[in-house]
């Protein structure tokens, strides 16, 4: 209501409130490459478009004369109470959106008490983000490296840094066909961006040193060991300083080591058992779209699921994430939390996902746009706008609590 009152009395918001206007403003503020990486999806962008369009096929049917004076947005997840059913989706390479990257986002999350899921491709080491977050929850998102020792190191660092859950993203074992990035000949990782989790890791540092010490050939020029040592020591000295990456550039050996180890297309369900040996954190699988995969996840003892298609960035033509949600909710049948992302642009969108059975929703691109426009304040403003609209939608729909946002609140009660 504070946002509303300020608007009524002529104060302009920090960033545009209307989702399309927010996106347009961010586009103007960002470089073409950064914009294409953040806003772009796979192929002809069909799944990205389907993700947002899917919300238009569900209609909320408001109920009247319900006492909604007191509304409760709090939500329980993994034995902890969150202020709202909203988390910050893991987003990599935030240095493209803003110089302060995760530092700014953590301060926005901290101001609102919302959990931030820190990416393996973050621009700031997870330990520094944890410090920035203070009492706000950190979750860690894992890209399971081709090198198990490195993957294990990430997982153990996350637990030691106080992460409350481990989100394993399964849909990006190969990078999707990102047409806009290909046209701009741009891959941020190849330019050393988004590698702070790696360069701050002792296992990765050792692998990089070993690679740099291999004999140099004319065809495959390697940086000198001295160059590698200097950048690694810089990375150690200023682990939280994204300028280390931006200005000095990483040695080729580090980028090559990353490219060698990033993806692991041979992973199967049986590998999950190893993860259990590395951590006692709740394990959440992100990127599920098939109800049978949700069943397999339960059989393999996972603690939660994120229904997601990575914002349409992986398979162009894939099912809209919202269309995959009800079937997965039915298959899981309340045994573990089901989270949702891909296409959420507003509080009303979040309401619809919750009504279709999601326990909580991850917000992705919108807060990145806020970050690009106005740093920590911009990201925080976007989160506040979504929370405010969710709260209003609940009240106006005649719903007092998150648990009461059921399929009965929609005109399209899907059987599953
Ligand atoms: C992502 N996403 C993502 N997911 C993940 O598990 N690890 C990551 O590092 C990233 N990085 C990333 C970067 C950018 C620029 C985007 C847009 C997305 C996917 C993200 O967590 C989430 O699934 C999508 O953002 C959801 O789609 P929308 O709602 O943002 O369109």
pLDDT (tens digit per residue) in 70-123: 999 999 999 999 999 999 999 999 999 999 999 999 999 999 999 999 999 999
Check whether 214 has a pLDDT greater than 90. no
pLDDT digits (tens, 9 = 90+) for 224-246: 666 666 556 555 544 444 334 43
Reading the block at residue 62, the tokens are 């408001």
Instruction: Please report the pLDDT score of residue 239 as a whole number.
Output: 43
* Ligand 1 pocket member 372 (CB < 6 A): no
Instruction: Identify the three-state secondary structure at position 124.
Output: coil
CA 219 – ligand 1 centroid, Å: 36
Instruction: Please report the pLDDT score of residue 218 as a whole number.
Output: 53
Instruction: Please report the pLDDT score of residue 247 as a whole number.
Output: 41
Instruction: Please report the pLDDT score of residue 252 as a whole number.
Output: 79
Q: What's the chain's average pLDDT?
A: 92
Instruction: Please report the pLDDT score of residue 211 as a whole number.
Output: 87
Look up the pTM and report it. 0.94
Tell me what the mean pLDDT of segment 300-305 comes to.
98
Tell me what the mean pLDDT of segment 357-365 comes to.
98
CA 363 – ligand 1 centroid, Å: 9
Check whether 281 has a pLDDT greater than 70. yes
Catalytic residue, candidates 58, 98, 103, 310:
310
Instruction: Please report the pLDDT score of residue 237 as a whole number.
Output: 46
DSSP state, 145?
-
Is this complex scored with an ipTM above 0.90? yes
Check whether 126 has a pLDDT greater than 70. yes
CA 85 – ligand 1 centroid, Å: 18
* Ligand 1 pocket member 308 (CB < 6 A): yes
Q: Which atom of ligand 1 is nearest to the CA of 345?
A: 29
Tell me what the mean pLDDT of segment 236-257 comes to.
58
Identify the band that residue 50 occupies on the pLDDT scale cut at 50, 70 and 90.
very high
Check whether 191 has a pLDDT greater than 90. no
* Ligand 1 pocket member 342 (CB < 6 A): yes
* Ligand 1 pocket member 123 (CB < 6 A): no
Reading the block at residue 17, the tokens are 């409130």
Query: Are 385 and 13 in contact, with CB atoms under 8 Å apart?
Result: yes
Instruction: Please report the pLDDT score of residue 213 as a whole number.
Output: 84
Tell me what the mean pLDDT of segment 290-318 comes to.
98
Query: Are 73 and 404 in contact, with CB atoms under 8 Å apart?
Result: no
Higher pLDDT, 226 or 158: 158
Minimum mean pLDDT among 160-174, 200-214, 266-280: which range? 200-214
CA 89 – ligand 1 centroid, Å: 6
CA 90 – ligand 1 centroid, Å: 6
Instruction: Please report the pLDDT score of residue 16 as a whole number.
Output: 97
What is the rounded distance in angstroms from the CA atom of residue 51 to the CA atom of residue 343? 5
Q: Which atom of ligand 1 is nearest to the CA of 308?
A: 23
Check whether 219 has a pLDDT greater than 60. no
Among 27, 35, 49, 91, which is best to mutate for testing ligand 1, by the most ligand atoms less than 8 A from CB?
91
Identify the band that residue 248 occupies on the pLDDT scale cut at 50, 70 and 90.
very low
Give CA separation, 214 vs 1, 126, 202, 220, 249, in Å.
62, 30, 19, 11, 21
Check whether 217 has a pLDDT greater than 80. no
Check whether 223 has a pLDDT greater than 70. no
* Ligand 1 pocket member 52 (CB < 6 A): no
Among 342, 364, 368, which is best to mutate for testing ligand 1, by the most ligand atoms less than 8 A from CB?
364
Instruction: Give the residue among 199, 347, 327 at the shortest CA–CA distance from 261.
Output: 199
Check whether 349 has a pLDDT greater than 60. yes
310 in catalytic set: yes
* Ligand 1 pocket member 92 (CB < 6 A): yes
* Ligand 1 pocket member 36 (CB < 6 A): no
What is the rounded distance in angstroms from the CA atom of residue 381 to the CA atom of residue 258? 34
Q: Annotate 147-186 with b (16+ C-beta within 10 A) or e (fewer).
A: beebbbbbbebbbebebbbbbbbbbbbeebebbbbeebeb
CA 371 – ligand 1 centroid, Å: 15
């Amino acid at each position: 209501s504070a946002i509303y009152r300020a608007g009524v009395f002529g104060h302009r918001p920090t960033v545009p409130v209307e989702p399309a206007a927010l996106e347009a403003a961010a586009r103007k503020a960002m470089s073409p490459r950064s914009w294409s990486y953040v806003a772009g999806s796979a192929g002809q962008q069909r799944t990205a478009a389907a993700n947002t369009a899917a919300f238009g096929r569900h209609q909320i049917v408001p109920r009247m004369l319900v006492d909604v004076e007191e509304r409760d947005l709090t939500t329980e997840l993994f034995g902890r109470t969150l202020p709202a059913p909203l988390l910050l989706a893991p987003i990599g390479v935030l240095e493209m959106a803003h110089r302060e990257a995760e530092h700014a986002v953590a301060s926005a999350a901290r101001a609102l008490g919302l959990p931030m899921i820190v990416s393996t491709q973050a621009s700031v080491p997870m330990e520094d983000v944890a410090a920035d977050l203070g009492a706000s929850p950190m979750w860690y998102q894992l890209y399971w490296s081709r090198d198990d020792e490195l993957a294990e190191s990430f997982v153990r660092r996350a637990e030691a840094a106080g992460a409350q859950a481990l989100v394993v993203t399964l849909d990006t074992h190969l990078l999707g066909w990102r047409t806009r990035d290909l046209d701009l000949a741009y891959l941020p990782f190849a330019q050393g961006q988004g590698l702070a989790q790696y360069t701050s890791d002792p296992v990765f540092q050792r692998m990089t040193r070993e690679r740099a010490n291999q004999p140099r050939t004319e065809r495959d020029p390697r940086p000198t060991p001295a160059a590698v040592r200097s950048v690694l020591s810089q990375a150690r000295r200023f682990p939280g300083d994204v300028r280390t990456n931006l200005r000095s550039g990483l040695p080729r050996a580090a980028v090559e080591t990353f490219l060698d180890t990033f993806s692991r297309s041979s992973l199967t369900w049986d590998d999950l058992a190893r993860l259990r040996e590395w951590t006692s954190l709740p394990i959440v699988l992100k990127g599920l779209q098939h109800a049978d995969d949700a069943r397999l996840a339960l059989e393999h003892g996972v603690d939660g699921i994120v229904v997601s298609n990575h914002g349409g960035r992986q398979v162009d033509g894939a099912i809209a994430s919202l269309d995959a949600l009800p079937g997965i909710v039915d298959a899981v049948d309340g045994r573990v939390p089901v989270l949702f992302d891909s296409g959420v642009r507003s509080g009303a969108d979040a309401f619809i996902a919750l009504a279709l059975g999601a326990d909580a929703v991850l917000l992705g691109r919108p807060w990145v746009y806020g970050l690009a426009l106005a740093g920590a304040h911009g990201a925080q403003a976007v989160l506040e706008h979504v929370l405010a609209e969710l709260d209003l939608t609940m009240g106006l729909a005649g719903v007092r609590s998150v648990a009461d946002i059921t399929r009965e609140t929609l005109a399209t009660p899907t059987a599953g």
